Amino acid sequence: MSTRVIAAYALACVAPLVAFAERIPPMPETTYDIIDDFSHPEPATVWKPMAGSKPVSLVKIGGRTALRMRCNFQGTRMDRASWDHEVKLDLVMCRGLQFLFFCPNASPVAHFTVYLHSGDGWYRVPFDAPASAAWSIITIDKNAANVEGRPAGWDEVDTIRISAWRGQDTDTEFYIAAMGTFGTGGQIMVVRGDSAAAQAPNELESVRRYAGVMSELLDRAGLSHVVLSDLNVTSERLRDIKLIVLPHNPTTPETLTGELVRFLGASGKLVACYNLPASLEASVGIRTGSRISQEYQGHFASIRPSHDGLQGMPAITEQASWNVREASAVEGRSRVAAWWFSDNGQPTGKPAIIASHNCVFVTHVLLSDDPSGKLHLLLAMVGNLVPDLWREAAQSCLDRVGHLGPYDSFGAAKEGITEAASGDSRVLRILETADRLHSQALAMLSEGKYSQAIVTAEESHRSLIDAYCVAQKPLSGEHRAFWCHSAFGVAGMSWDRAVQLLAENGFTAILPNMLWGGVAFYASDVLPVAPAVEEEGDQIDLCVAACRKYGVQCHIWKVNYNMGWAADKTFMAKMKTQGRTQVGYDGSSNDRWLCPSHPENQKLEIDAMLEVARNYGVDGLHFDYIRYPGSESCFCEGCRLRFEKVAGRRLTNWPNCVRNDDSLREKWLDFRRQQITGVVTAVAEEARKIRPDIKISAAVFRDWPVDRNTVGQDWKLWCDRGYLDFVCPMDYTASSSHFERMIEQQLTWAGKVPCYPGIGLSVWSDSADICKLIEQINITRRLATGGFTVFNYGPTQANEVLPLLGKGITRKR
Ligand SMILES: [Zn+2]
């Protein structure tokens, strides 16, 4: 504890559990609804530590109270420090929880999780610690919750659990304060069709997906809203609601239709997609019918306004729908506002949108394609029904202009980018455009031209992003790579074009995934070849040829042990029959994964990679999944026999003995590590004999000291022994401060071996978030890694992200 930046004094005589913190930064003021300010007299009894965790204590900061939670990881075996707080919460009418959070040193924590208990289950939302210098607000969004067991609903939350998961064998602590809610008080309610779980369970996944798409669109529009289960809608909860959205509700509970009729009768408005309960037809004046399937792919490709369209709707909104709902207008009550057009631009004669005075009905769900078109279409629907919401959207859209990278306003962005441009006339010209558009948007807002104000504000924002990208400076000598998960490259693009784009935009390497544990996308003599190779050609040949042509390095990526989605079923069955697939601790079989200790599996892994080195002019071989799936495997009969040889005796009480018997535990973990390391060693040594200048690399988990035990991945050793020429930890977090902390650690483990951190672009909620990507690339530069590796090279990244990088941060000189 000597390195702790916080000093706390217990005032034993006043209140034994309250301490004053000297160097905790001041807490920011909060304006949200507070449900707990932690002013309990006895926090230790209210927040109960789980086994092994320390009791919480209270800290007074500027007259307010925070909880201090200590994580005693040093010298303990606990997976997490964790506390439970009994509550009685109804979170139905809000978007989720929020609280203030401060952690002076988050490195020892892998990640944090908030769990909310309800009924017989939990809602679980993980979060990463933000930058450590100050307090931040953590939001726990209900939409992001994973479900464990069978929770009874958001209105029956009876426990809040906060867990800090062990990342390192070092103690730390964190503070939370001002627990409250967010996302209350909106005028829009999105009703999610949870009743499908009982009546149409196969629809449940799409129910959740399209409720999510709708909520995201409303967020992007800056429209506050709640998402409510269709089982929870009551008159009381509808009191302040002006607009209800049914994003995809294949079933409608009777109580809901009753509420909807009353709501519409009291001048409420409705947007319904794909399904409109028959009992509402009279209230909304719109008739719907049966489902119409597409006659061919591309039949329903875009939504275009009729002569009497909704004000502000786009001329074309693209949407590749596979079926639509039959619907018609009722004379004198509603009208067709838009039609479906096919992909060759022909009208289909099928209505896409029908509008009445209190309802807009879309004949399919809103899909997430054409995000900009979809946003404006939704705004037009909402705005025509409730004009006030349009103003709210326009205002919030204007407020957001300039929120990019490190900037939080138009003024700050303009000033910051101007400074970064250091007189570069290209940047200054783009900034002038952004400025002009911003002024126009403000004028439109004040004239009540909301739709135009939104379009213009967005153009201004895009110009700022463009200027920001152009203002970035490249760094020479950098290793800049993309992983490409598809063996066939970027969808809709040849390997030649995909690699040309990388080269033109300053990237130096690609890591294409050409083989798995059970399938190859090239002419292999070792692994079963994917049938598509016959039609589409040898993918390594095509990729390597393009890389030679444009001067880009090609490191062939193999998924180890995991046979893969494309593995031949007969081959997989054969592996299982031969006892070569994994078995879990509980005896369950994992038919997709090959057992790492089986000698024939090791040979298969090694031979497949060496074959690539021998037959193709590749620059490198790249390991992935070079590990066990988790600590629950492998406990197959072969593993038992092979481990008995290491232990030097017959094992009774298998598999419990490797966990309960201390003399075996370390040996077992070593045994697992050796299986994986053996393959890495053999490939590295043999491949270098075949091709002396070949580079060996690996995609690895983030937290070596933990992962070497849980998944047997001892990558620090691989660096120390020189098996690897570079290593790519998969640091796929959207939190840049977490990203930075992970790399700081990893650089010490990699030692002299270059560490090119993996950036998780395509797994972030915005998979084209150029500003965050630039931020994380700049972190790799600040830490002098010498390069980075971006996941994943797909169409969005190739078409939208790469050209923006090439304008500045990876610009070719
Ligand atoms: Zn095994």
Lowest model confidence (mean pLDDT) among 126-135, 219-228, 376-385, 740-749: 126-135
Nearest-angstrom CA–CA distance, 744 and 448: 51
Q: Has residue 43 got a pLDDT over 80?
A: no
Q: Has residue 513 got a pLDDT over 70?
A: yes
How high is the mean pLDDT of the chain?
93
Q: How far is the CA of 637 from the centre of ligand 1 (A)?
A: 7
Q: How far is the CA of 593 from the centre of ligand 1 (A)?
A: 10
Rg value, the chain, Cα: 29
Q: How far is the CA of 580 from the centre of ligand 1 (A)?
A: 7
Per-residue pLDDT reduced to its tens digit, 245-262: 999 999 999 999 999 999
* Section 534-551 average pLDDT: 97
Percent of the chain with pLDDT over 70: 97
Lowest model confidence (mean pLDDT) among 31-45, 132-146, 492-506: 31-45
Percent of the chain with pLDDT over 90: 82
Q: Are 634 and 596 in contact (CB under 8 A)?
A: yes
Q: How far is the CA of 596 from the centre of ligand 1 (A)?
A: 6
Q: Has residue 4 got a pLDDT over 90?
A: no
Q: How far is the CA of 635 from the centre of ligand 1 (A)?
A: 5
Q: How far is the CA of 559 from the centre of ligand 1 (A)?
A: 18
* pLDDT computed for residue 81 by the predictor: 96
Residue 6 banded pLDDT, cuts 50, 70, 90:
very low
Nearest-angstrom CA–CA distance, 678 and 687: 14
Q: Helix 637-647 vs helix 662-690: angle between axes, to the nearest 10 degrees? A: 100
* pLDDT computed for residue 11 by the predictor: 30
- The helix or strand, by DSSP H or E, that contains position 535, with its residue range, turns out to be helix 532-536
Q: How far is the CA of 485 from the centre of ligand 1 (A)?
A: 27
* Section 580-587 average pLDDT: 96
| CA 343 to the chain's CA centroid | 31
Q: How far is the CA of 166 from the centre of ligand 1 (A)?
A: 27
Q: Are 325 and 278 in contact (CB under 8 A)?
A: no
List helix spans (H) across 335-409: 371-385, 387-400
* Section 143-149 average pLDDT: 88
Residue with more model confidence, 374 or 107? 374
Q: How far is the CA of 633 from the centre of ligand 1 (A)?
A: 7
Q: How far is the CA of 578 from the centre of ligand 1 (A)?
A: 12
Q: How far is the CA of 79 from the centre of ligand 1 (A)?
A: 25
Per-residue pLDDT reduced to its tens digit, 344-357: 999 999 999 999 99
Q: How far is the CA of 521 from the centre of ligand 1 (A)?
A: 27
* pLDDT computed for residue 8 by the predictor: 32
* Section 742-754 average pLDDT: 97
Residue 9 banded pLDDT, cuts 50, 70, 90:
very low
Burial of residue 431 (CB within 10 Å: 0-12, 13-18, 19+) is: buried
Nearest-angstrom CA–CA distance, 376 and 362: 14
Q: How far is the CA of 586 from the centre of ligand 1 (A)?
A: 13
Residue 703 banded pLDDT, cuts 50, 70, 90:
very high
Q: How far is the CA of 607 from the centre of ligand 1 (A)?
A: 20
Q: How far is the CA of 516 from the centre of ligand 1 (A)?
A: 18
Q: How far is the CA of 642 from the centre of ligand 1 (A)?
A: 9
Q: Has residue 17 got a pLDDT over 50?
A: no
* Section 38-50 average pLDDT: 79
* Section 49-77 average pLDDT: 90
* pLDDT computed for residue 143 by the predictor: 82
Residue 133 banded pLDDT, cuts 50, 70, 90:
confident
Per-residue pLDDT reduced to its tens digit, 430-449: 999 999 999 999 999 999 99
> What single letter denotes the amino acid at residue 745?
Q
